[in-house]
A and B are shown apart, each in its own frame.
Chain A
């Protein structure tokens, strides 16, 4: 007697929502408060598994919901949809959320404000599941905004001076991307006549009149997705968001929220398939972002920031796979990345708890005292570094094959990327857990709790087995085509790059410790102007008056030079006359007359120079100043002066338009 599938589907987002409400209502019962989100997400996982076991996942096609209201030609809908793709990603999100919530229950045990934190985590899980399961653009956008608000709340709950600014930065930056997303999906809905996903995805088949308009909304939606996924140049918010607690970083900023951008593009992929230009743009942004972010990760001194830039890099790889028109590789990499990245973040949180800091130069030599944690971190790091047979190897192989198949010219960049990724993660591991010169290590070590280690263990085990299992079963489940496997030569190259990266990192850290590596310095410097737009604008703002000042000085110099040139000319004219006089010995009168004429000409030129150039330039300058002062008097100050000017302009404009219209008619 199984519950009806509709109820199960509704339970998936509603269970964490109920957990959030229960957490808020029961916030004074300190012992229960951490377990509501665990219960909520566990129920979601159970519901999804039940739905998946009742029938083969590939044949899933559950729809719930319908029309909300009709506004003229536009129909707004609300609904949930469960098909193979959304089932896979929803299960991933719910499972990672479950692990992170178990971790958070132990991690946050002695912090105040935990009731709000746990409630916000449940709320976030509900929002993310709604986003994945949404069948309507309205619901998707509402869930998208809700996810952004939950992210703001979770970052701002940290009692640290940098937290409110970081939270506001994350929210405002993603909000700006959301404006592009809003414009994009509104356009799509208007084109399709409805916000239901079926209608929107059907636009791809409509043909000529719609095709002309499609690239614009798809581009806008892509901009929104790129902002949410913190791709360069919109990546400034993610490293600063690392000020939040470790569970938040693990859930939001590695596995789920930043994956929402990739998810949106995956959902709308049938529309993107037919737009090669937009796909090329996504590919370019993804791959270049991946490379740059990986290089910047090499210069970070903070363990969580290394992981943040690594997230940007891996999401860039996911988007590059998408841009290479192989969505299978994108989904695969999304799944494995969620698992090993959240394991790494949770382990980093444990390290912070145990050693008191996550700055690389304050860590070191932790392996002896925290062997289990070191082992789990190492396993997850190897998964990130695409070492076989761990998860990252299979999904990295899939991404590489996708790029090799469709964008072959860029394929050689991927082994380079593998080298850099391995370098930064090996450096992070080694600097945290092994001995290097000058490593002070942590003075006092608090042993990590069982509640913290268990989820990390679970995720690390998943990172080991997930790759092979998904490579085997995912193509059949999703019904998407796999890329052609690359040949042995490429595989050996990539493996060699990985090994080289590990060796390089180990040698470097053993030699000089976790100092920022030079290979990343140029990239970090390149990213700074991309991130520091405000600083650039500042410089422009102070630079313009300076430029004007320089221009004025230059004008003065030019005027002085003209002065000197004119006087030089006069002097030379004088000299010429004297020369004529000296040379002319026969014709005295002619000579004297010529001399006299020359002298007079010289005097006249000098006078012209004095009256013309010098005085003229002076008069020009004073006249300009006078007119500028007169023009300045128009700025009288109070509001009614400007309103009057506005009305005069309006009236004049209206009359002018009418005259033009009457003349044209």
Chain B
């Protein structure tokens, strides 16, 4: 019996998601943007587990889905850091302002 209702967890997830949006949009450094994306994924995972607990606690597919979310997040982080390494080699910085080729 869970004393804390589902809505509370979902609100926490929503708050984390909003802060993640802020981090993705407001940070200049690409590494910080990646961390913001991790926060977004984490908020989603929290939502998934909260839903699993409150609506389908007998079926563990919800946990498996969260495991897959975490896994995919880790892979995405690895490739993102690899790409950032390449960017750093070109311009000696990972500030997003250095790439404005799409301008115009």
Contacts and interface: CB of A to CB of B under 8 A. Distances in A.
Interface of A: 632, 635-640, 642-644, 647
A648 B52 CA distance: 29
Contact of A642 (B21, B102, B104): B102
Contacts of B100: 636-638
A640 B104 contact: no
Interface string B85-104: 00000000000110111111
B25 A640 contact: yes
Interface string B8-29: 0000000000000100111010
Given A637-B99, A639-B33, 11 more contacts: A635-B102, A637-B102, A637-B103, A638-B96, A638-B99, A638-B100, A640-B26, A643-B24, A643-B25, A644-B25, A647-B24
A288 to B, nearest CB: 44
Most chain B beta-carbon neighbours within 10 Å: one of A635, A636, A642, A643? A643
Contacts of A640: 24-26, 28, 33, 96
Interface of B: 21, 24-26, 28, 33, 96-97, 99-104
Contacts of A636: 100, 103
A663 B33 CA distance: 37
A532 B24 CA distance: 43
A643 B96 CA distance: 12
> Chain A contact residues: over half helix, strand or loop, or mixed?
helix
Nearest to B30: A639
A637 B101 contact: yes
Contact of B96 (A632, A639, A647): A639
Given A640-B25, A644-B25, A635 B104 contact: yes
Contact of A638 (B21, B24, B97, B104): B97
Contacts of B26: 640
B22 to A, nearest CB: 10
B31 to A, nearest CB: 13
B97 A632 contact: no
A166 B100 CA distance: 36
6 contacts: A635-B104, A637-B102, A637-B104, A640-B26, A640-B33, A640-B96
Contacts, number: 33
A643 B99 CA distance: 14
A635 B104 CA distance: 5
A578 B93 CA distance: 79
Given A638-B97, A638-B99, A639-B99, A647 B21 contact: yes
Contacts of A635: 102-104
Contacts of B96: 638-640
A636 B28 CA distance: 15
Contacts of A642: 102
B1 to A, nearest CB: 31
Most chain A beta-carbon neighbours within 10 Å: one of B97, B101, B102? B102
Contacts of B104: 632, 635, 637
A306 to B, nearest CB: 46
Contacts of B101: 637
B25 to A, nearest CB: 5
Contacts of A638: 96-97, 99-100
Nearest to B104: A635
A635 B24 CA distance: 18
A631 to B, nearest CB: 11
Contacts of B103: 635-637
A568 to B, nearest CB: 43
Contacts of B21: 647
A647 B26 CA distance: 13
B87 to A, nearest CB: 11
A647 B99 contact: no
Contacts of A647: 21, 24-25
Contacts of B24: 640, 643, 647
Nearest to B37: A643
A632 B104 CA distance: 6
A355 to B, nearest CB: 50
A642 B99 CA distance: 13
A643 B21 CA distance: 10
B83 to A, nearest CB: 12
Contacts of B25: 640, 643-644, 647
Contacts of A643: 24-25, 33
Contacts of B102: 635, 637, 642
A356 B104 CA distance: 56
Contacts of A632: 104
Nearest to B95: A638
Nearest to A647: B21
A626 B8 CA distance: 50
A639 B36 CA distance: 14
B88 to A, nearest CB: 15
Nearest to B97: A638
Contacts of B28: 640
A639 B32 CA distance: 13
A585 to B, nearest CB: 70
Most chain A beta-carbon neighbours within 10 Å: one of B26, B101, B104? B104
A643 B23 CA distance: 11
The 6 closest A-B pairs by CB, nearest first: A637-B100, A637-B103, A639-B96, A638-B96, A644-B25, A638-B97
A644 B96 CA distance: 13
A312 B33 CA distance: 53
Nearest to A644: B25
Nearest to B103: A637
A642 B101 CA distance: 13
Most chain A beta-carbon neighbours within 10 Å: one of B33, B100, B101? B100
B3 to A, nearest CB: 29
Nearest to A636: B103
A642 B26 CA distance: 12
Nearest to B26: A640
A637 B103 CA distance: 4
A382 B102 CA distance: 62
A274 B100 CA distance: 57
A635 B26 CA distance: 18
A548 to B, nearest CB: 17
B15 to A, nearest CB: 15
A545 to B, nearest CB: 15
A647 B21 CA distance: 8
A633 to B, nearest CB: 9
A637 B95 CA distance: 13
A640 B97 CA distance: 9
A143 B43 CA distance: 43
A640 B104 CA distance: 15
B102 to A, nearest CB: 6
B93 to A, nearest CB: 13
A636 B99 CA distance: 11
B101 to A, nearest CB: 7
B5 to A, nearest CB: 21
